[in-house]
Amino acid sequence: MRGRSWDVLRIRPVSPLLIPHVSLADTSIGEYSIPKGARVIINLWSVHHDEKEWDKPEEFNPGRFLDERGQHIHSPSPSYLPFGAGIRVCLGKVLAKMELFLFLAWVLQRFTLECPEDQPLPSLEGKFGVVLQVQKFQVKARLREAWRAAS
Provide the annotated binding site for heme: 90
Who contacts 135 (Cβ-Cβ below 8 Å, separation ≥6)? 122, 123, 125, 126, 127
CB 38 within 8 A of CB 22: yes
Binding-site residue ranges: 90
